[in-house]
Structure 1
Amino acid sequence: MEQKKNEMEEAKVNQETEISELNREVAEQRDIVSKLRNSCSGQEEKNERLVSEVSQYKDNVDRVMQERSEAQKSLDGEKKKVEDLMLTISDREKTIKETEKELGKLRSERDNVSEKNEVMESRLESLEKEKDVMQKNLVEALKKIHDWEAKFESEGAKLKRALAMLKNTAALVSSKSEGKEEVVANDHKLGKEIQPYVVELDAIQNAFRNKEKMVGDLKQQVESLHKVAEAQKKKSFWTLVSSATTIIAAASVAYVAKGR
């Protein structure tokens, strides 16, 4: 009995030891659970803090992404502006080159125009000198023309007087009038140049006086002389008078020869 009792007590002691050990383990486990709870509580706070930080990071990332997107848009806009500016610069450079080319042409044309102007000025100066010379020559020519006109008028008047003298001679011969011969001889208006011819005409009048047959021939000579005078008004008066004298003298000689 005692052995059984001892065994029971020993079993009881063992159970109590086991219970004590279990209590100790339970206490340790509780302590661990408490620590774990405390740790979990801290971890939850940490997790909440991390979640908050993550949320902040996310917000920051979103803000940064938005800023990046805006910056990219701004950069794209700036790139577009730069591209447009480069295109504008290229167009300006092209325009400048074309302008420089046109300026080169204009300079060349200006130089050509300057050379032409110099040539034209030289030519103009030469023409001015030629004009002065021509004006001088024109004045001299007009003076000569005026002198010639005056001379021709004077010569024409003398020619008319000579024709009148010849007609008078013919009239004297035709009418057989000796008194009329002095009409020609005394015509002092004919000038000194005519006087030698007047003497010859007097001789002709004496040769043909009272010769009725010669009247017709003399009239024909007068008409021929009149035609010659009309056709050659611009020729020298003295040439005409000399021709007339020669014609009349030849006719006189021919008639005298016939009369003999």
Structure 2
Amino acid sequence: METNRGLRVKKETSLNSLRRGFLILETFGVGEDSLSNAEISARTELPKSTVSRLTSVLCDMGYLLPASAVGGFRIGPRALRLGYSALASLNIRQRARQPMQALASRASVSVSLGIRQGIDMLYVEQARGAASLSTRLTVGDRLPIAVSAIGQAYLSICNDGEIAEIAAQLSATEPQLAADLAKTAAEARKQIAAQGYCLSMNSWVSGVHAVAAPVLDLDTKTRMAINCGGVAALLSETRMREEIGPALETLASQISALPPRELIAHFGQ
């Protein structure tokens, strides 16, 4: 008969395997044709033997598929179904699509809606304007939460406990950004309180300007952020402040349960 301790050990082992399995799935980015066990091991910092065992299980379950030509793996249909189900459950996407496209077309920019995924922001909806002004990022791409405009807008509606949790996750790879995260969130709140959006000038990718604002779905539970950006050479700081930023604040207020300035007062302080 198994002891309570033995049952606890089994449960902890199962939970660790589950966490590692999801960690492996998260290594596959948009446009990633395939990854080998060695590449997955390097990205996740998991032992190669553990990766080999888990990729085999994930293949058996349909979450990964063998990419035989290169001896690696690619995302399988079962994982894709999970992603599509999650996106379909975000009703705000349908509500936001038309006004996002209107702004993107009018201003020749990219407008993207994102949710937090660990230490990143994941694009779940996007509208694009003229290709010459828009960025190349698309739905499914991830941006670092600490240095992107959309990430900072999201941080503006996080409380101290949530900031500390994100900082702890970030500290393993970006200790300085983690140490400064509370200041980053405070600065974003200050900007949004003053103007309804936060502004990023070349702070994440050189040559790209962006503004962003926090968003709350009508279920009042799903927190997100929306950004608007494009090529810096064609989007001056003056235009970002006088045209694009105010337009994004208006858009965020249209699709959100609360306008950006009210959101930071409600969640972020």
The two structures share one fold, judged by TM-score above 0.5? no
Structure having the higher strand fraction is: 2
Which is richer in helix? 1
From the CA coordinates, give the structure whose radius of gyration is larger: 1
Q: TM-score, normalised by structure 1?
A: 0.21
